[in-house]
Structure 1
C-alpha cells in the first residue's frame, strides 16, 4: 500500500464529451501510446478494446455480471454520461528500491443505465498509464438495487495472438505451484487436479494472477488486480481456442454466490501492464499506484528483512513436507543448518514449514500444535 508523504503536482481536468465519429469513446495514456476504446453494442452490451500505437492488444472484450438475486448485467445498457480527467502526483514510499513514485494517468468514467424497467446503474472507470491500464466497476447507490449477490464477473480479455505464457494453475486453495511456460493455446491447468501438493481445488482450466505473456514481437503483458478489498480473488479462465481470458472469481462451496456486497461499492481494479520488455514490467508502479493509500501514519516499526526457509527446497524436490516419503525437510537437524547458515550470512530469520502433523494425505487434516517426531 502507498503512503502519501507529499504531493508535488496534482492536475485534474474534467471534460464532458460526446462519442467520436465511430461511436466509440476513447481515452489515451499521458504519452498517447496506449488507447482504450469503449462503447455499447446495438443491444446494449458494454465492451472495450486496447491499442498500443496502432497495434490492437486487447480485441473487443465484453463486460458484465451474473447475480444470484437478480437478472444479469449483460446487455440492455445505454450510456448516460461520460467524463475524463487527468491526474498527476508524486508520492513517497516509506522503504524499498524507489523513494519518489509518479502516479500519472488519464481517467475515463462511463455511467451506464439499463433501458428496461429496473433501470439499474453501473459505472466503469478506466485509468490509462503509460505502461498499462486499470479498470474497475462501480455500483452506485440506487433505488432499485440494494444488495448484489455476484455469482460471476464476466470480464473478458480477448487477445490477438497465441502468446508465450508464464502461468500457474488457478487453484482456489493454494498459491504455491511452480509456473509453467507454454503457448496460451496449450494451457492445461486441470492436469494439476489431485496432484500431491497439500490441498488443491482447481475447478476450471484457469490460471492465477499475475500471469505474464510475451508476444512474437517482444510485447509483454501482465494481468493482475489491485485494491482487492471485500471482494473475491480473481483467477482467469482460459479459452485456448479463441485465445482469451475471462475473470473467474474464487468462491465457496457453502454459498451460490461469490461476492455479497451492499451498494454503493466498487470492485478491485483489473490491471493489464503493457510494456516492450520484461524489465519495464518489474519497474512498473501501476499496481501500487492503484492500491489505496495506507491508513497507518506511522510505519517506522516495520522492519524489512531477509530470511531463509525450509519450504522452497520442497518445491524443488529435495525434500518433502510430510514424513511418509523418507525425505522430510522440516527436521530439527535441518532447521539448525538453516539457522547456522543464516547467522553466518547476516540473514535475520528462518521460516520452517512442514514441521507439524497433517501434511500427509492420510493424516486427517492439519494439527497446528503437534510436531512430527523428528522436529
Structure 2
C-alpha cells in the first residue's frame, strides 16, 4: 500500500521541563516517550536520547541514555553540534501485506520528528526519530547534495544499567552462537551480535536492540561493551572478517541516510508479535509476487551429510516431500558430484514429476570464504548469476540456497542485495546460509524466504554440546533471533544424527509452530516421519509456515514458551519446556473469537520422550485444558473451527 504521511499535533517542545531536554516524541498509544537532550544543557554540545515506557501501571526509564553522533573522514558530527530546529511533527501511517512471516497484514504507524543539527563548520546532520506503539526507531541523515566520504565511526551507544537482565549472543560471523543470560556482576564484556534482549529489573518493560534497512550505502554493525561494561556501542565489522576482503568502514555518497537503529519495546508478548524491523524497511520492489510461495522442505543434509551426492537419497527425499504434501525438496552441497543412478538433471526431472519443486545449494564463492566446496563461483558476479539462473529455470528449480558469506562489510551487503536483485526476474526464491541475521530485507525482497543466522539442528552434527544446550536454546530463540525475521533452524527431527537429542518428540513437533521461516526445512530422514503416529504425521502434512497472526500466550526465555499462531480461521499451538523437570501447562482459549467452537487436536508427550499422547476435544473461548510436559518436553495442537 502507498504510504500516507499526515501531520499530527503532539508535544514536541516543552518549556516546563529542564532546559537540557529539547523535545519529546510520543508513540500513538502514548506508552513510549523518546526525549532528546544536550549534555551541556544548552543548544550546542553532545546529544543523546532517553526512552521511557508506561505499562499502564508505572512509567519506567527503559534506556537512560543513547549517545548519538558520527565521525566522517572529513569532519566530526558528535561533540559540538548546534541545535538548529525540530521539523514539523509527522504521523506515519501505512498498512502493508506480506507473503510470509509472523502476520500477513502489518502496520507501519508512528510519530516522527526530524531534528536538524550542524557542526562548527556548518555541515548538517539530521536525526530522524520515530516513536511506535511497540518501540523506537532512529536514523542519521546527511542532507547535503554532494560529496563522498568514509564513515570512520558511529558513536551510537546504548547505556544499560547493570541490574537489567539481558540475553546476548557473542559475535561470530555466521551468527550461530548460544545466548548468554546475565545481569549485575555477571555481565560480560564482549562484542555481541544482534538481536539483544533486555528486561528491566522491575520486570515492567522488555526491549530488543536491532537494526534495519541496512543497504549498499553502509555496513552491518554489532554491539560492543569492551570499553565500558554498561555501554553497548555500535561497532563496524572486524577488518579480518571475510578473510580480510573489503573495507570495514563504509563509504557514503551524499545525500545519505543510515540504517534504522531499532528498539522493540513493551511486554514480552509485544516483543514476540512485533514487525517493527520490517515496518521501517523499504516496501517491496518486486511487483509480481504470485510466484513467491512459502512452504515446507524436505532436506537430506542433516541425516546424511553427503546425501545429495547420492541420486537414490535425493529421490527418497523427493518422495518424502510428495508423501507429506510439502512443496519443496533441497539439493544441498555435492550435487555436482551426484552418482548412484542419476545426475542433477535427472534428479530435477524426477522431483518435478512428483509435483515437488527443487531447491539447490551454492557456495557464495570468492576469496571472502575459505570453504572450497563446489560449485563455488556461480553466484559471484551478475553475469555468472544470470547464466546459472537461466539454467536452473529451464530445469525447473524454484530457488537457491547460498552459503558462506562470513562478513557484514559494505561490499558483502552489496553482494547480498545484488543476488536478490538478479534472482527476482528469474522467479528464484532465495535462502541465505552462513549469513547475517535479518535486517528487514524480506519486506523489500519478498522472495528472500529465510536466513540461517542461528545455531540450529545442524549443530547436532558438529559435536556433543548441542545435545545438552538445545532445550534451553530453543526457548530463547522465539524471544530473540526469530523476532526479527525468518529463521531456518531446520527443526522437527525425531531420530538422531551424529549426536543425540534430549528433547522429547512433543518438543520437536512443537518447533514446527514455534519457529517461523518462509521455507521451513524439516531435517529428519524419511523414516523419522513415516514412523510417527497418525496424528503427528497428519499434523506435519498441514501445519502452515506463513502466518496471519502470532500471539505469545505464556513464556520466559530459557524456561518455556507457549505460542499461538493463526492461519485463516485455524489456530496452531506450540509449547516447549527447557527445564529438567516435568510440568503442567494450562492452555486458556480466551484468544479465540466469541461464539465459535473448534476441534482441538492435541499431540503431547506420552509416557516417555519418544512417544505421543493424543487428545481430541471440542473447545471454545471459555475453555481451558491442562497439559503434561515431560522434562525438555512439549506439545503441538491444532484448532480447526467447526462449521
How far the C-alpha of 1:74 sits from its partner, in A, is 2.0
SS of equivalent residue, structure 2 residue 170: coil
The yes-or-no answer on 1:246 pairing with 2:237 is no
Residues 39-50 of structure 1: pairs in structure 2 closer than 5 A: 39-42=37-40, 44-50=45-51
- For the residues of structure 2 that align with 1:99 and 1:367, how far apart are their CA atoms? 38
Match of 2:137 in 1: 134
What displacement does 1:216 show?
Answer: 3.9
**Alpha-carbon displacement from aligned partner over 1:266-323 (angstroms, at most 9, x marks no partner):** 001000001212x322211212210111122221121212214355x4xxxx88x6xx
Question: Hey, what does 1:221 align to over in structure 2?
Answer: 207
Number of equivalenced pairs: 326
Shift, 1:102, TM fit = 2.4
Tell me which moved more, 253-262 or 283-292.
253-262
Q: Rg larger in 1 or in 2?
A: 2
Cα gap change, 1:256 to 1:367, in 2 (>3 Å): closer
2:321 to 342, 345, 349: 342
Q: 2:79 aligns with which of 72, 75, 99?
A: 75
- How far apart are the structure 2 equivalents of 1:90 and 1:369? 42
Partner of 1:207: 192
| Number of the residue aligned with 1:170 | 171
Alignment-derived partner of residue 195 in structure 1: none
Q: Once the 2 structures are TM-superposed, how far is the Cα of residue 161 of structure 1 from its aligned partner?
A: 4.1
Instruction: State how far apart, in whole Å, the 1-side matches of 2:68 and 2:168 are.
Output: 23
The 5-angstrom pairing of residues 89-104 of structure 1 reads 89-94=94-99, 98-104=103-109
Return 5+ residue gaps in structure 1 as ranges: 190-204, 322-327, 371-375
The alignment partner of 1:282 has SS state of helix
Residue 286 of structure 1: aligned partner: 276
Could you tell me how far 1:159 is from its partner in structure 2?
1.3
Give, in angstroms, the shift of residue 11 of structure 1.
3.4
Q: 1:295 & 1:153 partners in 2: Cα distance?
A: 29
Question: What is the correspondence of 1:1-375 to structure 2 with a 5 Å cutoff?
Answer: 4=1, 11-13=6-8, 18=13, 20=15, 21-23=17-19, 24=21, 25-42=23-40, 44-53=45-54, 54-67=59-72, 69-83=73-87, 84-94=89-99, 98-114=103-119, 116=120, 118-141=121-144, 146-171=147-172, 173-175=173-175, 177-183=176-182, 186=186, 205-218=190-203, 219-230=205-216, 231-239=218-226, 242-250=229-237, 252=239, 253=244, 258-277=249-268, 279-310=269-300, 313=302, 332=310, 338-355=317-334, 365-369=371-375
CA contact (8 A) 1:62 1:154 kept: yes
Deviation for aligned residue 1:260? 0.4
Whole-Å Cα distance in 2 between the matches of residues 254 and 63 of structure 1? 29
Offset from partner CA, 1:1-41 (integer Å, 9 cap, x none): xxx2x67x753237896454312111111111111110222
Relative distance call for 1:294 and 1:58 in structure 2 (3 A) is same
SS at match of 2:214: coil
* Equivalent pair of 1:148/1:261 in contact (CA under 8 Å): yes
Structure 2 CA distance for partners of 1:134 and 1:102, relative to 1, 3 Å: same
Distance 1:10 1:121 in 2: 24
Pairwise CA RMSD of aligned residues? 3.2
SS class of match (1:168): strand
Q: 1: distance between equivalents of 2:47 and 2:249?
A: 22
TM-score (norm 2): 0.46
Report the CA distance shift for 1:50/1:334 in structure 2 as closer, same or farther (over 3 A): farther
Deviation for aligned residue 1:222: 1.1
